């Protein structure tokens, strides 16, 4: 059964009540799961990473970013995740489905998204089956990661039940 952690539920309710848009909610949701490190670190896959899970050729060992720079990188990364959703999703999504999908695309990358069963099922209008795909993405190098399991469970919850209202 998918779960939404109580602290995250409270945060999402506050954002909904404050009238935050989908991009703002997805950015906060992603930041919650990614956490923030202003200095470069090596993630569980061995990838140099900084700030809120930012990776790429621009990330070098020993880098340190300010909080403002980290937020700017997260917004940039979320922007390309939303652009990928606009390019490939051909059916309407609820706000919760969009938030979960944007966070997943941020994490999985555009190529994995484009080639995924998750996307195929979404575009076929098979949302219950699509929501069930999130939990398949909990492994790194063949090892189940508890943090990913909790994150994917929350993604599935949002996909199935939308954003909490109260």
pLDDT in tens, 37-55: 999 999 988 999 999 999 9
Active site residue 58: no
The predicted structure's pLDDT at residue 94: 97
CATH code of domain 6-161: 1.10.530.40
Share of the chain above pLDDT 90, in %: 90
Q: Is 155 a catalytic residue?
A: no
pLDDT given for residue 101 in this prediction: 99
Residues in CB range of 131: below 8 A, 6 or more apart: 2, 97, 156, 159, 160
Tally of residues, the chain: 166
Q: Give me the pLDDT at residue 120, please.
A: 99
Q: At 32, list the tokens.
A: 């919650």
Dump pLDDT digits (tens) for 19-37.
999 999 999 999 999 999 9
The reported pLDDT for the residue numbered 142 is 86
**What's the confidence (pLDDT) of residue 166?**
76
Q: 39: which strand partners? A: 64
CA distance 59 to 40: 7
Has residue 1 got a pLDDT over 80? no
Out of 34, 77, 155, 156, the active site residue is 34
Domain ranges of the chain: 6-161
**Digit-coded pLDDT (tens) for 87-116:** 999 999 999 999 999 999 999 999 999 999
- Average pLDDT, whole number, for the chain? 96
- Provide the pLDDT for residue 111: 97
Pick the catalytic residue: 43, 58, 67, 124?
43
In order of 21, 28, 31, 120, 141, the CA distances from 15 in angstroms are 8, 9, 14, 30, 35
Q: pTM for this one?
A: 0.94
């Amino acid at each position: 059964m998918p779960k939404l952690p109580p602290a995250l539920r409270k945060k999402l309710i506050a954002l909904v009540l404050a009238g935050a848009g989908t991009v703002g909610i997805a950015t906060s949701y992603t930041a919650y799961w990614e956490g923030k490190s202003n200095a470069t670190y090596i993630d569980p896959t061995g990838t140099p990473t900084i700030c809120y899970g930012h990776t790429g050729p621009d990330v070098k060992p020993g880098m340190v970013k300010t909080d403002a720079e980290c937020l700017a990188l997260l917004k940039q990364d979320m922007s390309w995740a939303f652009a990928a959703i606009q390019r490939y999703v051909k059916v309407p999504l609820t706000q919760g489905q969009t938030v979960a999908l944007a966070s997943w695309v941020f994490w999985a990358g555009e190529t994995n998204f484009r080639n995924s069963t998750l996307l195929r099922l979404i575009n076929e209008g098979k949302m219950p089956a699509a929501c069930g795909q999130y939990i398949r993405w909990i492994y790194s190098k063949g090892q189940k990661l508890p943090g990913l399991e909790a994150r994917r469970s929350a993604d599935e919850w949002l996909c199935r039940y939308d954003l909490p209202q109260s």
